[in-house]
Chain A
C-alpha cells in the first residue's frame, strides 16, 4: 500500500474527515500529518526532515499556511492576542518566550517584509524542493490565502497556477455565509473541529465539488 504524506497546518493535522477520505480515494495510508498552528518556516523544516524518505509511489499534500506565523526553538507562534494560552501550552514554551515574542512583534516584525521572506521560502519549496521529491504525485494548496505570496505586478514570487481554487479558509467563509449567516467570528466556529471540518450535511459534497479537480491527480494518476 502506498503512503500519503500531509504537510502543513491545522487543516491537515488529524487523520479524519477529508484527510482520511483523500487517503481512501488514493488507496494509501496516512504516513504524516501537519501540525496545528504551524508556519511556513516549520513547513520548510518538516519537508527537509522527510522528503528523502518519500517513495516514488507515495502521494504528497502540502498545505501552505499564513505568512504571519513563526517557529522558534520548537515552539509555534502566531501574533493573535487570543493565541497566548495556546503558545504557553506547547511543550517547549515558557513565559520568557512569550514575552520575547511580544517584543518581537512590537519592535522587530514588519508585515510587508515578512511576506517577502515567507514568499521566498514558499517559492523555494515549490520550485526547488518539490522537484527533488521522488514522487510526482504532489498537490499543494493554500489553507488561508494565496494572495500574500502572489502579489500583483510582481512575478518574482510564487507563480499563479492555471487552476487555482479558493483557499480552504475562503471556502469555509463562503460556506458559513451561506448556511450560518448569523456567525460573527468564523475562526471561533472553525476551531471547534478537527482539520476545521464543519459538521454540516452539505459540507462534504460542496467541499469535494470544489477540490476534486485539484486532488484528483493523486487518485487517478498511477
Chain B
C-alpha cells in the first residue's frame, strides 16, 4: 500500500494533475488530500487541525501558504477581490457555488465597514506564524515542506518581522509562474494580476499550458521538494 501525499493550500494545489500528479509520482505516494480553490490561511489552519490525526510518519505533507486577503467565514471561502465595488460581485467566482444573497451582502458590509488590510494582514500573519512555528514541526510525517503560493511579502513587512524566510526559501508558485511568463512572453502586457490569471494562469493548479513549463517548474522546485522524496 502506498504512502499518502497530503497537500494543504489554495488553488495552486487543488487538482491531482500536472505538478501535483508529478509530485505524487516522484514521492511514490497516492494523493490523499488537496487544497481548495479560493481558500485562505484561516481555512488552512482549520484544514490542518482537522487532518493532523490522520497523517502518518511515512506520509508526505506539502503546505501552501496563500495570500492574506481572503477569508473563511462559516464554512465558506471568500476573497476581497471577488467584489469589485459595492453591489458589484465578480459573479464568475460565485457561479455554481452555494452563497446566499444574505451572505454576499454581508461580505460587502464586512469589506465596507470592517476590513482593514493592514490589520487583517497582522491577524493572518499571526495565524501563519502559528502554522509555521507550532503546527508544522508537530506534523507527524517525517517528510514535509511548506511553500508560499503567492508572494510572502504581506507577512514579512515592517512590524511583522515574526515570520523569517528560510535561507533557501522556495520562490512562491505565483512568482515562478510570473517569471516564466516574463521570460517567455517578454512583450506581453502583464500589468494587472487579474489579466495574468485570465490569460495564462486559468488552468487547473494555475498551471501554464506551455511545453516548456514542466521543466521550468521542476528545475525551480526539485531541490525544495526533494525532502519529500
* A-side contacts of B119, CB under 8 Å: 41, 45, 71
Query: Which residues of B have CB within 8 Å of A155?
Result: 138
Report if A163 contacts B (CB, 8 A): no
Question: How many B residues, CB 8 Å from partner?
Answer: 36
Pick from A72, A99, A103, A124: contact of B129, CB below 8 A: A124
CB-defined interface of B96-132 with A at 8 Å, one 1/0 digit per residue? 0000101101110110111010010011001101110
Q: How far is the CB of B126 from the nearest CB of chain A, in Å? A: 4
The number of inter-chain residue pairs (CB within 8 angstroms) is 102
Inter-chain contact A127/B113, CB cutoff 8 Å: no
Q: Give the residue among A73, A116, A154 with the most B Cβ atoms within 10 A.
A: A116
| Chain A residue with Cβ nearest B102 | A107
CA distance A6 to B82 in the complex (A): 40
Nearest CB on B from A152, distance (A): 13
Interface residue stretch chosen among B18-26, B70-78, B214-222: B70-78
Contact-residue size bin, chain A (C-beta under 8 Å from the other chain): 35 or more
Task: Check B113 against A113 for contact (C-beta < 8 Å).
Answer: no
Q: Classify the interface of chain A: helix, strand, loop or mixed.
A: helix
Task: Give the CA-CA distance A108 to B73 in the complex, in Å.
Answer: 5
Inter-chain CA distance A158–B159, complex, in Å, is 23
B46 touching A72, Cβ below 8 Å: no
Q: What are some 28 contacts across the A-B interface (CB < 8 A)?
A: A41-B119, A48-B122, A72-B113, A96-B113, A100-B106, A101-B114, A103-B102, A103-B105, A103-B106, A103-B110, A107-B106, A108-B110, A109-B73, A110-B73, A113-B46, A116-B45, A117-B123, A120-B126, A120-B130, A121-B130, A124-B126, A125-B126, A127-B130, A128-B133, A132-B162, A154-B49, A156-B52, A156-B135
